[in-house]
């Protein structure tokens, strides 16, 4: 019942950030530049407010059920607003709907992860908890990638997105009901005594936290680079735009199916060595993407499958490690703060990859939709494949060097 909520959480992102701007531009005539600037501002607000949401959730943790209910209502209400616009002032309605929806998403996802970490469990059980949660999230991503296109082939855009909302709201309601029932029955580790959560900057006094967050951010950046460039790579480098959906399906489905594999490996060798193995697999397979050329569909499909397998560990292991650290330190009072920083780092890594890679490719002469000569397209291929692999090599080195610190969780258990 706990992991069910991951499905609607993951599902919401693709319609909001990929389909909604096109919907408002094509159906309501809102300029794309204005929509892009609005979305950029909303993304900045969304990322910056995460630590505040985490600390507030910790301060009022005894009302966490009510906090979750508020976030769920905002997520569902904002989603409905986005795809039922008021035609007389569409941009304001779009901005308001996205703000409500993404704020609700942050409230729910931060507390959702924190409760997974506070669920009374062993270290191995925490890996299973996060693996199932992230696997269901990947299924939600797959459904979100398929549903709008499928509905759009049957009816016009307004009807398609109305139907999508009609489907989404009951799913969100059902999974939320299951989750809130779980909250009423689950054994949640509470602070040993009444304490206030520590300030955000105080968390960084821990050497374990500094290294873990640094590694997580760098690894997130390495994963964000191909996420930002994948559409351009498939269309302009492979010249296989028609297979984009298939490639994404193979990648995310492989990640979901690989979750049980990484659970077994982590039990056998430990979570940190398991993470090193998975990143090494990602480097060994994804680097081959730089050697492909137009028409190499089968080879790229194989890369999607193998790198998708590595994705399973990237998604399931870091939250499990964070939960281990919180339990080891007896720092349950600051659980939401810890997980809110993980959420912030993920968003910041994506923003940095977008802000660095797209302007860099532009300076080097790349124009989306135009091949522009072998040198320019080679730059796209190298940026897509080799830059993330080089960064991940640094991550592996960092992980290996700090393995003793990370495995011992850095510091002794806090006294109870």
| Three-state secondary structure string covering the chain | CCHHHHHHHHHHHHHHHHHHHHHHHHHHCCCHHHHHHHHHHHHHHHHHHHHHHHHHHHHCHHHHHHHHHHHHHHHHHHHHHHCCCCCCCHHHHHHHHHHHHHHHHHHHHHHHHHHHHHECCCHHHHHHHHHHHHHHHHHHHHHHHHHHHHHHCCCCHHHHHHHHHHHHHHHHHHHHHHHHHHHHHCCECCCCCCCCCCCHHHHCCCHHHHHHHHHHHHHHHHHHHHHHHHHHHHHHHCCCHHHHHHHHHHHHHHHHHCHHHHHHHHHHHCHHHHHHHHHHHHHHHHHHHHHCCCCCHHHHHHHHHHHHHHHHHHHHHHHHHHHHHHHHHCCHHHHHHHHHHHHHHHHHHHHHHHHHHHHHHHHCCCECCECCCHHHHHHHHHHHHHHHHHHHHHHHHHHHHCHHHHHCCCCCCCCC
Quote the pLDDT of residue 197.
56
* Averaged pLDDT for residues 338-366: 80
Q: What's the chain's average pLDDT?
A: 83
Does residue 19 surpass a pLDDT of 80? no
Least confident of 131-140, 178-187, 198-207, 230-239: 198-207
Quote the pLDDT of residue 284.
94
Distance separating alpha carbons of residues 264 and 277, to the nearest angstrom: 13
The region, left, alpha or beta by phi > 0 then psi within -120 to 50, assigned to residue 373 is left
Alpha-carbon distance values, 266 to 255, 303, 328 (Å) = 16, 23, 18
Task: Please give the domain boundaries of the chain with CATH numbers for all domains.
Answer: 1-188 (1.20.1250.20), 204-410 (1.20.1250.20)
Least confident of 149-163, 254-268, 316-330, 387-401: 149-163
Does residue 156 surpass a pLDDT of 80? no
**112, 128, 334, 378: which is closest to 237 by C-alpha?**
378
pLDDT tens, residue by residue, 50-68 = 888 888 888 887 888 899 9
Quote the pLDDT of residue 205.
79
Percent of the residues in the chain that have a pLDDT greater than 90, as a whole number: 26
pLDDT tens, residue by residue, 68-107 = 999 999 999 999 999 898 878 888 999 999 999 999 999 9
Quote the pLDDT of residue 99.
94
Does residue 416 surpass a pLDDT of 60? no
């Amino acid at each position: 019942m706990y992991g069910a909520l991951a499905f609607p959480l993951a599902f919401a992102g693709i319609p909001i950030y990929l389909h909604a701007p096109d919907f408002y531009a094509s159906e309501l005539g809102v300029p794309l530049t204005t929509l892009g600037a609005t979305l950029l501002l909303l993304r900045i607000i969304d990322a910056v407010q995460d630590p505040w949401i985490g600390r507030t959730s910790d301060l009022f943790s005894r009302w966490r059920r009510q906090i979750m209910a508020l976030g769920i209502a905002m997520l569902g209400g904002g989603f409905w607003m986005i795809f039922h616009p008021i035609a007389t002032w569409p941009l304001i309605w779009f901005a308001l709907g996205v703000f409500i929806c993404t704020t609700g998403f942050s409230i729910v996802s931060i507390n959702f992860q924190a409760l997974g970490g506070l669920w009374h469990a062993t270290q191995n059980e925490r890996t299973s908890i996060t693996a199932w949660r992230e696997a269901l999230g990947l299924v939600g991503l797959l459904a979100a990638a398929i549903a709008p296109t499928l509905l759009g082939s049957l009816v016009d855009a307004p009807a398609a997105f109305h139907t999508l909302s009609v489907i989404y709201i009951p799913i969100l309601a059902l999974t939320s009901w299951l989750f809130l029932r779980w909250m009423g029955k689950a054994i949640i580790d509470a602070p040993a005594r009444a304490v206030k959560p520590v300030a955000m900057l105080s968390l960084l006094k821990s050497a374990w936290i500094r290294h873990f967050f640094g590694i997580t951010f760098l690894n997130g950046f390495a994963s964000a680079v191909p996420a930002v460039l994948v559409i351009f790579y498939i269309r302009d480098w492979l010249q296989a735009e028609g297979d984009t959906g298939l490639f994404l399906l193979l990648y995310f489905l492989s990640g979901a199916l690989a979750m049980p594999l990484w659970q077994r490996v982590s039990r056998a060798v430990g979570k940190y060595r398991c993470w090193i193995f998975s990143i090494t697999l990602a480097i060994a397979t994804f680097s081959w993407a730089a050697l492909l050329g137009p028409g190499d569909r089968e080879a790229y499909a194989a890369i999607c499958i193998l790198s998708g397998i590595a994705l399973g560990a990237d998604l399931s292991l870091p939250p499990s490690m964070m939960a281990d650290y919180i339990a080891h330190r007896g720092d349950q009072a600051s659980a939401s703060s810890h997980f809110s920083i993980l959420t912030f780092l993920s968003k910041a890594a994506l923003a940095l990859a977008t802000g660095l890679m797209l302007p860099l490719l532009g300076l080097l002469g790349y124009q989306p939709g135009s091949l522009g000569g072998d040198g320019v397209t080679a730059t796209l291929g190298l940026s897509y494949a080799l830059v993330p692999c080089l960064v991940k090599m640094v991550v592996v080195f960092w992980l290996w060097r700090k393995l003793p610190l990370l495995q011992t969780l850095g510091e002794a258990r806090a006294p109870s």
